[in-house]
Amino acid sequence: MRSRHVVLARRPEGAPVADDFRVETRDLPALSEGRLLVEVLYASANPGSRNRLGGDASYARGMQLGETMEGPAVGRVAESRNPAFKPGDLLSGPFGWAEHVQISGRGTRRIPASTPSLSAWAGILTIPGLTGYFGLRDVGLAKAGETVLISSAAGPVGATAGQVAKLMGCRVVGIASGEERRSWLREEAGFDAVIERRGADTVEAMAERIGHVAPDGVDVYFDNVGGIILDAAIACMRPKGRIVVSGQIADYNADPSSRYGTRRVYEFIGKRLRMEGLIVFDYADRYDEATDAMTGWIAEGKLKFREHVIVGLDGLAELFCAQLRGEIFGRPLARLHA
């Protein structure tokens, strides 16, 4: 069998572009004992992969040139030499940007036949949703009645985190760019208030906008962005506030020497703030807990999500680059097979 893959062709300089990747056709060997042939149905352009393209390890190992791009995906078992799986089984796993993969089955999760959405298992029910779920509950320790602030709130991580916070009884404020995103967060996702990101280009300007909708301060800040928004949020935190560091989009394409970081550490002392990073893989033994809860909320209409779906493998590289530029609204996915 032959399979097409998208591989890393060169190291990006600054923001990635589509030419940093290429499509290759590979001959797959005969299936070995104990392994599966998986037909990939949905592949995701996962933004967290950006940190790995330079080859250096972050929370995961760096990508090598010529290596198939990784990312959460949904697949169907086409052939099995592993007695634990049979043809037709639906799986969620790190299959990456490929039409077919051969795997052992380790690290995959079975998708129940009753799932309300198959594509969600490459999106909200994997890294983005799990990050929002555990970030709010276990790292942020959000409690009913508290005010939660979320940056990049219209992204799949932020939108999930905000809705989980609402289900926990919190008041939720989002930060997002553009009326379409802000309207969706208010009207569909049920956020209490949404701040426009554009036009607030200083810490003081963003802090003023946060203070306008959260005059009593913020108890939990779920940070997907970093940069000046992080410092603005710190300025608005209440005593004993918690900051969940999920992503740092503002610095992803910056040279390490020019990253903004934070310049308000002094406030941690007087306000007794706590700031903690989040790696969702630390909660792998509890994934079923989260997906059971989230699939139930989706079925009940209590958890909404957006997807931006293209057809075919060839557009995945540009989709990945476009969502890093902030041009994609919803989880970026490619449908490879019906």
Place of tokens 């890093």: 324
Q: Which pLDDT value is given to residue 58? A: 64
pLDDT of residue 54: 85
Q: What is the average pLDDT across 255-266?
A: 82
Q: Does domain 127-281 have CATH number 3.40.50.720?
A: yes
The answer to whether the CB of 91 falls within 8 A of the CB of 77 is yes
Q: Is the pLDDT of residue 188 over 90?
A: yes
pLDDT at 253 over 70: no
**CA-to-CA separations, 20 to 12, 153, 268, in angstroms, rounded:** 6, 28, 40
**Where are the CATH 3.40.50.720 domain residues in the chain?**
127-281
User: Span 84-103, mean pLDDT?
Assistant: 97
Judged against a pLDDT cut of 80, whether residue 337 lies above it is answered with yes
Whether the per-residue pLDDT at 168 is higher than 70: the answer is yes
pLDDT band at 62 (very low <50, low <70, confident <90, very high): confident
3-class DSSP assignment, residue 24: strand
pLDDT of residue 46: 86
DSSP 25-75: EEEPPPPPTT-EEEEEEEEE--GGGGGGTTS--SSSPPPPTTPBPP--EEE
| CB contact at 8 A, 136 and 114 | no
Question: In whole numbers, what is the pLDDT of the chain averaged over residues?
Answer: 94
Q: Residue 2 — pLDDT band, cuts 50, 70, 90?
A: very high
User: Above 80 in pLDDT, residue 249?
Assistant: no
**Using 50, 70 and 90 to split pLDDT, how confident is the model at 326?**
confident
pLDDT for residue 255 is more than 90 = no
DSSP per residue over 6-17, as a string?
EEE-S--SSS--
Q: Confidence class of residue 220 from pLDDT cuts 50, 70 and 90?
A: very high
Query: pTM here?
Result: 0.90
Within the chain, all domains assigned CATH 3.90.180.10 are found at 2-122+306-335
Phi, psi dihedral angles at 238 (to 5 degrees): -85, 160
* Mean pLDDT of all residues in 282-308: 95
Q: Is there a contact between 80 and 87 (Cβ–Cβ < 8 Å)?
A: yes
Domain 2-122+306-335 annotated CATH 3.90.180.10 = yes
